[in-house]
Structure 1
Amino acid sequence: MSCAEYSFHVPSLEELVGVLRKGLMDNFADVQVSVVDCPNLTKEPFTFPVKGICGKTRIAEAGVYDLNKITKEIQLPGAFVLGAGAGPFPTLGFNSEFMPVVQTESEHKPPVNGSYFAHVNSADGGCLLEKYSEKYHDLGFALLANLFASEGQPGKVIEVKSKRRTGKLNFVTCMRQTLEKHYGGPVGMGGTFFSSCPLNSDEDVNKWLRFYEMKAPLVCLPVFISRDPGFDLRLEHTHCFSHHGEGGHYHYDNTPDIVEYLGYFLPAEFLYRIDQPTETHSFGQD
């Protein structure tokens, strides 16, 4: 396993509030951005195994691995990890969207796995969301996982409220492009947001994917980086889960006139690119 480390530029939360507010106002009719105490994320709708997303924040991008090994590789054993990737094909035996929500093992505590995976229901072709730990006990994943890791502590975070989309960009892309335009150099962020409206979960890739309109509410796990510093990164990746049996990859919202997002975010201090491929391509990375 090879691992390259990169130190992000980390703006203050107060500075990011102004930058994100300005960018989001170009794409949403009603925008509120502020620094707040992170809400208790063990409560609904998030139901995470930790109370917050603060402390030694990192972003990792990797291929087929185990989350316990990843957090040791990024020098944060016992970290809380969220994000987006593919489910562990060797375990499941089929392709799936994976929503990691895991507090990894530490010297004194076993792991807590709150992850979900979504796949096409072979019976009716619909979207089927399942709780991973109800069937499996490993912490594996596969294929281009984008992960946001922290100590899982309470603390100050950026709260973003956006309503009624007036522009063409989705919520995550708008924030990412705003950071890219303002800072130029790489800034990485991650966190979680809650959507109370339906969402819609490259030519050859689209022929393989299945798209669904999903009911609200949905809990999304975005990881995004304003600009690639030369590590062949996927710049944004967001998966979502729910408590009503739907989940998958977040692409877009279908109801711009009533869409409403509420999110909590933090900048990452470091980037870890694990086993960067020697050959690459550009399709399927949005």
Structure 2
Amino acid sequence: MACAEFSLHVPSLEELAEVLQKGLKENFAAAQVSVVDCPDLTKEPFAFPVKGICGKTRIAEVGGVPYLMPLVNRTKVYDLNEISRKIKLPGAFILGAGAGPFQTLGFNSEFMPIVQTESEHSHPVNGSYFARVNPADGGCLLEKYSQRGHDFGCALLANLFASEGQPGKVIEVQVKRRTGQLNFVTCMRQTLEKHYGNKPVGMGGTFIVQKGKVKAHIMPAEFSSCPLTSDEAVNHWLHFYEMTAPLLCLPVFVSKDPGLDLRLEHTHFFSHHGEGGHYHYDTTPDLVEYLGYFSPAQLLYRIDQPKETHLFGRD
């Protein structure tokens, strides 16, 4: 499984906060970005297996959309413990967005990895969630992965933010009332791209949709039997929903692709009221409120990059 390593541009937290605040104020009525101590993420509403998102930060993109469509490649299955070794960080805390491990579940799903991987000194902990289409009524079924499987698998594609899971300084972002056209993550990513240009900056962490509703999708349980060859075909295949705050999101984004065929942003979310999936944008701009904690990544790893690629199905 090929793995390429790339050093990202890492501005100071203070500089990043200043840059992000300026960009977010163009898209939201109120925006406050500060450098703070990471809240204890073992506490509610997060209930992660580690306290923070700091220490040896890195982003890993594994596989890619071309392994899902036009037609699925069922050989593309992965293990998060192995990925942590590939990125030279055994014991890493990993969060992000990907496709669920169909090899264990027996069906396709949206995956929200929240994993403390194994190391010489610690046993792995899988706090992940997955969302599937309810076969009874077409709604959303959100489950904790540990209730179904005891492995650490994922499949096809994943965008992951990894760290030592330590406390430390992070960037806190609070925004309210969207006035522009960009979703929360896209606004941050494009702000960084505009400011840093050809110097890629990567970030990950977690944010809460505190108020409002969002548009989301969940992939069908069955992979498409006919080739999906356009965004229109993909959108016809997906199931779309409007889901209600509070929602806990796991974003991973890179300001610019350094030539590694990246999915520049990818955000999945879970909740404690049974809703989860792939975040698109909020549908209640006058009401929406976001609160997030982010850390810049030092390194980028591209694992098992598809040799044949395309650009549809990446929204």
How far 1:83 moved relative to its partner?
A: 0.2
Aligned mates of 2:120, 2:260 — CA distance in 1? 31
Q: Deviation per CA, 1:187-208, whole angstroms, max 9, x where unpaired?
A: 1000000012221112111011
Q: Residue 159 of structure 2 is aligned with which of 122, 126, 146?
A: 146
- 1:233 is aligned with what amino acid? L
> Could you tell me which residue of structure 1 aligns to residue 86 of structure 2?
73
SS at match of 2:239: coil
- 2:215 is aligned with what amino acid? N
How far 1:235 moved relative to its partner?
A: 0.2
Q: Residue 189 of structure 1 is aligned with which of 194, 198, 203?
A: 203
- Structure-to-structure mapping, 1:58-207, within 5 angstroms: 58-63=58-63, 64-184=77-197, 185-196=199-210, 197-201=212-216, 202-207=231-236
- 2:263 is aligned with what amino acid? R
Q: Is the 8 A contact 2:105 2:148 kept in 1?
A: no
Q: Is the 8 A contact 2:80 2:153 kept in 1?
A: yes
> Could you tell me which residue of structure 1 aligns to residue 300 of structure 2?
271
1:254 counterpart = 2:283: yes
1:37 counterpart = 2:37: yes
How far 1:89 moved relative to its partner?
A: 1.1
Aligned mates of 2:156, 2:11 — CA distance in 1? 30
Aligned mates of 2:275, 2:156 — CA distance in 1? 21
> Could you tell me which residue of structure 1 aligns to residue 228 of structure 2?
none
Considering only aligned residues, what root-mean-square deviation do their CA atoms show, in Å?
Answer: 0.6
How far 1:93 moved relative to its partner?
A: 1.4
Q: Deviation per CA, 1:97-137, whole angstroms, max 9, x where unpaired?
A: 00000000110211011000001000111011000001110
- 2:113 is aligned with what amino acid? P
Q: Deviation per CA, 1:26-62, whole angstroms, max 9, x where unpaired?
A: 1000000000000001111111000000000000011
176-185 vs 193-202, which moves further: 193-202
Normalising by structure 1, report the TM-score.
0.99
Q: Residue 222 of structure 1 is aligned with which of 236, 239, 251?
A: 251
- Structure-to-structure mapping, 1:1-40, within 5 angstroms: 1-40=1-40
- 1:266 is aligned with what amino acid? S
Aligned mates of 2:176, 2:80 — CA distance in 1? 35
Q: Percent identity?
A: 79
Provide runs of 4+ in structure 1 moved above 4 Å.
Answer: none
SS at match of 1:54: coil
What is the number of equivalent residue pairs in this alignment?
286
SS at match of 1:19: helix
- 1:38 is aligned with what amino acid? C
Aligned mates of 1:36, 1:281 — CA distance in 2? 40
Normalising by structure 2, report the TM-score.
0.90
Structure 1 alignment gaps of length 5 or more: none
How far 1:275 moved relative to its partner?
A: 1.2
> Could you tell me which residue of structure 1 aligns to residue 271 of structure 2?
242
Aligned mates of 2:290, 2:95 — CA distance in 1? 18
Aligned mates of 1:114, 1:186 — CA distance in 2? 30
> Could you tell me which residue of structure 2 aligns to residue 47 of structure 1?
47
